[in-house]
Structure 1
Amino acid sequence: MRSLLAALLFTLSLAAPAMAGESVEIKTLEEGASSPPASVDELAWLVGHWKGSGLGGQSEEFIAPPLDGQMIGAFRQTKADGSLWFYEFYQIVEDQGSLVMRIKHFNPDLTGWEEKDDYVAFRLVETSENAVYFDGLTFKMTGPDEMRAAVVLEGDKTASFIYNRVSP
């Protein structure tokens, strides 16, 4: 399923390549390696409403505070012409003493990309004071109200995002 998502995003992003020089490091979890211990409380810095650019259009994230071992979020992506492209709904959840980010993707009419009970999962690789590295997906604070994100699309292709906090 992850390769299907990567192929879809790669195809969609051909007209909007990642911004050169604007990406953050993306880390991967070695095959067979375990994710390190972590809690969603360590990611409270992600909370807020974020707007920015990525994939050649406008990107927007809404991330709720930790509650009962989970954080939830929503992502909205527009095309360069301002029309809605797709949505993501996700959770960052404590799982076996570590963290997993689970994402479901939707078209503007809310038809899903993944099957009904499926989602794309990104296992935790590492956390730091201002960054979280999931396997193929990174969020990193680069200023008091600036965040950058990057995700692996296919092979060595990546998409980069630059966000500014609209509200906490």
Structure 2
Amino acid sequence: MRAFWAMAGAIIAAWGSTLAAQETRVGAEGFVSPPATIYQMWWLEGLWQGEGIDGAPATESWLPSTGHTMVGTFVQQTPEGDILFSEHMYLVEEDGSLVLKLKHFNADLTGWEDKAGMVTFQLLSLDFCAAYFSGLTIRCDGNDKLVVGVRMKSDAAEPKELLFRFNRAARPQSVFGCDGTTIEMNECMSEILARSTERKDQYLAAALARHDDSPDVAKMIRQSDAASEAYRKQECYALYEDNKEGTIRNYVYLGCAIALVDERTRTIWQNWLTYADTTPPMLPEPGPSR
């Protein structure tokens, strides 16, 4: 870790400057990360291009999740367009929450960290289109824009941070594989939501069947599902209202709905369709709907 901060400081001294910390947050010692799943980060998928250190070009890319992990890369260029450094990133589920781990590489692929070393950011809070890790913020900044803030380690009295501002290089429908006109995109997203909901209902039915001899438990499962549905409607309708002046309002609403239905399906699977021992789960682990 010491080698990382030394290298980061040298690069900033040579190529750029930091700003007073406004985007980033730092957790108190011993803080506990909130519950979160990788499926809540669907909005981050894709290719992002913009400005990094000292306004030089920077690119960040995130693949769709594989199991419980999203894999990302970051490339910071020099003002002349050469590679200054790059990062290989894992956004992974750990202990019921999310952790972002990364390693840095010079232009010649030599690493900043030692062989087993990496930089780790623990999750502080997660909102729709905003993830706050201790020392790192990743959030949307309007339609198809992304802000990434990194808190720098320093002895200065005022915390400093690096800011990276990106625009989505590909259209948002690439996340779900929907393309075409606005109407065609909305139809495609509606079909994905229908498949997602059908799968959720299947997993819910299996959970209820497993507890058909425990009516009180089954009743509470139904109640929690109804509460989840009410939350989904309020959250996604709020997004629709916030984007009602734009042509992507339906796409944003449907994307929100798909993500929350998928999250509910995985919660049902984790809580009610798996076993504490090595017994196989009653149904396969659900992945993101596509």
Aligned residues: 165
Unaligned runs of 5+ in 1: none
Alignment of 1:12-27 (within 5 A): 12-14=11-13, 15-18=15-18, 25-27=23-25
Supply the RMSD in Å over aligned alpha carbons: 1.6
Larger radius of gyration: 2
Q: Secondary structure at the match of 2:138?
A: strand
Q: Does the 8 Å CA contact 1:77/1:85 hold for their aligned counterparts? A: yes
Letter in 1 for 2:162: A
Q: Partner of 1:52 in structure 2? A: 50
Q: Aligned partners of 1:104 and 1:81: how far apart in 2?
A: 24
Letter in 1 for 2:16: A
Q: Aligned partners of 1:4 and 1:32: how far apart in 2?
A: 24
Q: Aligned partners of 1:24 and 1:158: how far apart in 2?
A: 8
Q: Partner of 1:160 in structure 2? A: 163
**Identity percentage of aligned residues:** 35
Q: Does the 8 Å CA contact 1:49/1:63 hold for their aligned counterparts? A: yes
Q: Secondary structure at the match of 2:150?
A: strand
Q: Does the 8 Å CA contact 1:6/1:152 hold for their aligned counterparts? A: no
Unaligned runs of 5+ in 2: 175-290
Q: Which has the higher contact order (CA 8 A, sep 6+)?
A: 1
Q: Aligned partners of 1:161 and 1:118: how far apart in 2?
A: 24
Q: Does the 8 Å CA contact 1:24/1:149 hold for their aligned counterparts? A: no
Q: Partner of 1:10 in structure 2? A: 9
In the alignment, does 2:41 pair up with 1:43?
A: yes
Q: Aligned partners of 1:58 and 1:52: how far apart in 2?
A: 6
TM-score (norm 2): 0.54
TM-score (norm 1): 0.92
Q: Secondary structure at the match of 1:41?
A: helix
Alignment of 1:19-168 (within 5 A): 25-56=23-54, 57-155=56-154, 156-167=159-170, 168=174
Deviations 1:125-145 (A, max 9, x none): 111012101110111101111
